[in-house]
Every structure is written in C-alpha cells, then in structure tokens.
Structure 1
Amino acid sequence: MAQTRWVADRLAESDPGATFQIQSIRTTGDGDPRPLFAMDQKGIFEREVDAAVAQSRVDFAVHSLKDVPSQLPDGLTLACVPKRESARDVLITGDGSSLQSLPRGSIIGTSSLRRAVQIRRSRPDVGVRPIRGNIETRIAKIDGANYHGIVLAQAGISRLNLDVISAALPEDEFVPSPGQGSLAVVSRADDHGLITLLKGIEDADSRLEAEAERALSGYVESGCRFPLGAHASVDGPTMTLRAAAFSADGKKSAVARIAGDRRAPRDLADRTAQDLRRQGVEALASGWRESLEMWNR
C-alpha cells in the first residue's frame, strides 16, 4: 500500500490533472502462513492483482518487481519501472550488531531461501528461522529469544520511513533477488493513454537494470524456492550484471560478473546465464529439492 501511494503521488506530480483511487486486493501469498520457499508457486503476491487489471476492474497494479514473474499473462505489460531504491539486504537487530559480530548460536529470521543460504554460508554458526508478516510485524519479533535479528530489503524500510537500527550486508556475499529495490507498474497492453501517463515516472536506468535481471531470471528459471541472486547496475554506457546461484545447503555455488552495452540488457543476461550454465547452475537448481526439508524444520 505504501508503494502504491508513492506511485500515485509521483504520477500526480507528473500530471497534476490525474486523480487516483487505491483498491486493496488480498493475494495468495498474503493468506498463506508458510515460509515463502515452501510454496511451489510463482506470482503468489501478484496473480490476483494482475487478474483485476486484465478484467478491467482496476487500471494498473503496483508490485515489488521481485514478486513479478519474468513472463506476464497475455494482454498485460510492464508499463513502468520508477527510479530504483537501494537493492541491498540489511540486518536489523536490537543493538545494531553486524552479522559478523552476532554471538554464536544467534537466531536470524528471514522469509527468503536465498538469504537463508547466504547467511549460513557467511555464518555457519548461527541459526536461521523462517519468519512471515509485514515489515513492522517482523521487526516487532526481534526480542533476543525467538529472533536476535532479521534480514530485510533496505528498500522496504526506506519506503516506510522506518526508524530502525540496521547494518548493510556486503553486496558481494549477499547478491540481492532479481528486481529487488524496484517497483513494477503493470497495465493492460492496449491501454495506450494510461501507459503514456505511467511512462512519465519511469527511470531509464532502472528499466534497463530490471530487463537484465528479469531476463536472467527467466533464463535460469528461478523463483522464490531457488536461491538466485542477480543485480544489474548502469554506469554510463556500460551495464554490469552480477549473479550468484546456490545449492539449498549452500555448499555449492555458481557466480558470474559480466559487463556489456547498457542498450542490450537481454544479451547481457544471456551471456551471464551461459556463464552460470558452464558452472553447473542446472545441477544446483535440480538438487535443491532434495535438501529443502532442512529449511522447514
């Protein structure tokens, strides 16, 4: 809702004559209490919302880009990607401890298998426990008994203007989820007037980064249950795409860093995917199912 209000405010600034009414829609992901990586589904936070767009019950939808599948339903389009927030993951604790300074045996909460794997690779002596709920609910669970800290995206904290003590996690070890930090505005592909309005708040670099990360995600067939990290960054005429994929137990990985022409994000994604394939990413993707139970205990 905060993200939707932010988009509506930016659109109103871009076109002062436009007015908006926000409609809330409950999704499958909202009503399922299981850890995200225990759900063998794609689009669990956007399917019902995008159905409302397709059926003309609403004009457009605002999502976290990382929740949007790489292939949208027929008739819908990713109309706008506004300027991206930080893509970093952060650790939130009661006293501002960093991941490395937490005592042995500390319990860290996360709803992401990617983050769980990366935490255990960095600190095999701490515990990782699933956690659900909105951002405020998760933060309230940091009590030193059940959770000593939780890992969240910096973008969500920033958009809610939350005053919390956090420590940024190193980007080379915690490559974020594809699309993390970006918003996705989805509309009907034939609603050309609305698309023109939405394009008024699009950020060109953020769009290119989103296209590269989403293309890579599609090539590798990632999802909430396969821990792929991908982060593209534009610097002048160049775009660099970093990617990291892990086995579910965190013991094996495939890591790539490829630079190329910013105007060809899909080519960059394809070359990065090829590098990951040479390192055996398919074996990582097929092997995670066998060890998923350890994350559900």
Structure 2
Amino acid sequence: MKYLIGTRGSQLSISQTNWVVSELKKKNPDSDYEIKTITTKGDTDARPLFTINQKGIFEKEIDKAVAEKQVDFAVHSLKDVPSILPDDLILGCVPPREPFNDIFISKNGDTLDTIKKGALIGTSSLRRAVQVSRKRPDLQVKTIRGNVETRINKVQDGIFDGIVLAQAGINRLGVNVKHTPLPIVDFPPSPGQGALGIVCRKNDTQTISMLQKIQDNNSRIAVESERALSEFVDSGCRFPVGAFAQINDDILDLTVIAYSIDGKQALVVKKSGNKSNPYQIGKEAAEELQRKGVNDLAKDWRAKLDEWNK
C-alpha cells in the first residue's frame, strides 16, 4: 500500500514528516510513503502572524487536499491545527510529544535574565512577546518571520540580540545551537506545542488504523485537554494564552494562563481530573477563565498590536 502525505515545504515540516514516515515504516514495513509539499497562506503572507484574521493559516490548504483525496493524510505542528476540523476530517493520530517548553537564543550566549538592557528580541508569537515583556520590561520586542534557521541566522548576524523559539523545533531539526530553556511557569506554551497532529479523512478507516500504530495515548490525552480549551477561549497568534497539560498516573493536570495585551494582568486557572475526561477538563478551565473575565483582557488588543508592530 502506498500513501501520499501532505505537508508544508519548510525544512521543519519536511523533517517532521520524514520522522513520521520513519516511525510508520517500523510498524508498517510493507507500506510506501511519498511526501507532497503544499504551499499555505501562512507561507506566502509576510505580515505578522497575529494580524492575519484567519485560523489555520498553516494548514487549511493542506487539509483541503486531504478532503479532496489529493493526499491520504497530512502532518502538521499540532498548535497550527484548529481545535475544530471540517466534518469530513479527523485528527487521526498524535505521535509522542516533544518537550513543549520555549527556549531563548542569543548571539553571545546570554540568557533572558542576563541580556543587556534595551536588547532587541524577536518573536512571531504575541504570547511570547507578552511573556518576554512581563519578565524583562526593559527589552525591545519586535516581530520576526521566517523559518527556524532564518531566525537563528538573524541573531548570529546581529539583526536581533535574541529570539524565543520552541524547543521542539530545534530538536526535530537537529539544530546545534546554544540555548537556554525558559521555565514554563513564566512561559507557558501555546496549546498543542511540541506535538504533531496527523489529519486524515474521517471515513478512511484503513489509514486511521495504520496511523494509530504510532500514536502515544498520553500525548493525545494531554493535547486534547489543551485543544478543548481553545474551542472556548481564542488562543494562538492573536490572543496571548498559554496552556500545558501533564499526566501523572491517571490524573491530568491542566494549567492555563491568559494575559492582557499589555502584559500587566494574568489570569491563572488550574484544573485536574481523571485523564479519561480531557475534553471536560479543558472546557472547565475555559469556563473558569470566562468567569474571571478573560474576554475583558482582549478589549484593547488591536491598538497594542499596532504599537508593537511599528
């Protein structure tokens, strides 16, 4: 059996997909896999991510190819996949998750704590920008676009003094660069960060069965609670919300932190429960955030974003 896989053409996307192929071949030695790269809106639109008023900018075109049977399934960074998919598609598999923390990279090996006052820090994420500003209000934070390698090169070339990236990205690329892990208490990640999401057609039982052979159940359970949260509280590039779920035995602990756009306020919610109910735990966390006034935090977000992007 031969499967055609859709993915973006970035080096990280190709590396992730090649890893998935290698894992699938271990479980399905008689199957063949071919990768088809597909350009998405996020690849062609150079605006800062938070200004693009559209969800799924890095996956919509690829998932459309899945739905139209141009490819059999798609490999995504799960944080790019909307929490609600079209009716004919399903999240068929979540392989073992990489570490979900962020890291700090600087030219001279400085940490976020030790880097000089006024240093220019680059990030494409509104969440990370707010978190950096909360930790070091004396730094300048500006938007940066480009793939992982491009961003690292902008630090090495002195265009930026430092950048914040996901640990998972450099792990999957095998990039050997000096970096400092950032504590999740100050830098809770985007929901789903560090995980891969494999999307396929809901009625394609053969492909689903094949993909399930590389699924990591605890990774799936953890991200399901984080994604449930995203159904009720707008998170991602346009609203600064961090969330991470951890599993100890049968207990799932979900921590969520939502920030005001100026970083001066933070709402913290922690929910725990049996790991058999990840969706309910995520929903309860969202409901508590709403009771605490999370929607009020976003009232003046547009003006602040425009200011940040000057």
Tell me which interval the TM-score lies in, with the shorter structure as reference length: over 0.9
Corresponding residue for 2:166? 153
After TM superposition, the structure 1 = structure 2 runs for residues 63-78 of structure 1, keeping only pairs within 5 Å, are 63-78=76-91
Q: CA deviation at 1:63?
A: 0.3
- Secondary structure at 2:75's aligned position in 1? strand
- Secondary structure at 1:225's aligned position in 2? coil
Give 2:176's match in structure 1, choosing from 140, 155, 163.
163
Corresponding residue for 2:263? 250
Give 1:223's match in structure 2, choosing from 236, 256, 271.
236
Unaligned runs of 5+ in 2: 1-13
Q: CA deviation at 1:37?
A: 1.1
Corresponding residue for 1:87? 100
Give 1:7's match in structure 2, choosing from 20, 27, 41.
20
**Aligned AA for 1:177?**
S
2:212 corresponds to 1:211? no
**Aligned AA for 1:61?**
A
Deviations 1:238-293 (A, max 9, x none): 00001111111111221112111111001111221122122210111343223221
**Aligned AA for 1:28?**
K
CA–CA distance in 1 between the matches of 2:124 and 2:253? Answer: 28
CA RMSD of aligned residues (A): 1.1
- Secondary structure at 2:210's aligned position in 1? helix
Corresponding residue for 2:146? 133
- Secondary structure at 1:156's aligned position in 2? helix
Corresponding residue for 1:266? 279
Deviations 1:172-206 (A, max 9, x none): 01000000000000000000001000000000000
Corresponding residue for 1:232? 245
Corresponding residue for 1:37? 50
Which piece of structure 1 moves more, 259-268 or 77-86? 259-268
- Secondary structure at 1:117's aligned position in 2? helix
The answer (yes or no) to whether the contact 2:106–2:179 under 8 Å persists in 1 is: yes
Corresponding residue for 1:107? 120
**Aligned AA for 1:34?**
R
- Secondary structure at 1:109's aligned position in 2? strand
Corresponding residue for 1:202? 215
The answer (yes or no) to whether the contact 1:38–1:296 under 8 Å persists in 2 is: no
How many residue pairs get matched? 297
The answer (yes or no) to whether the contact 2:191–2:242 under 8 Å persists in 1 is: yes
Deviations 1:106-143 (A, max 9, x none): 11110100000000000000011111111001100004
CA–CA distance in 1 between the matches of 2:234 and 2:154? Answer: 33
**Structure 1 segments of 4 or more deviating over 6 A?**
none
The answer (yes or no) to whether the contact 2:247–2:253 under 8 Å persists in 1 is: yes
Q: CA deviation at 1:144?
A: 6.7
Instruction: Please report the TM-score for the alignment, with normalisation by the length of structure 1.
Output: 0.98
CA–CA distance in 2 between the matches of 1:285 and 1:218? Answer: 16
**Aligned AA for 2:224?**
E
Unaligned runs of 5+ in 1: none
Instruction: Please report the TM-score for the alignment, with normalisation by the length of structure 2.
Output: 0.94
Q: CA deviation at 1:222?
A: 2.3
CA–CA distance in 2 between the matches of 1:112 and 1:265? Answer: 26
Corresponding residue for 1:118? 131
Deviations 1:6-45 (A, max 9, x none): 1111000111111100000010000111111111110000
After TM superposition, the structure 1 = structure 2 runs for residues 14-25 of structure 1, keeping only pairs within 5 Å, are 14-25=27-38
Identical counterparts, % of pairs: 50
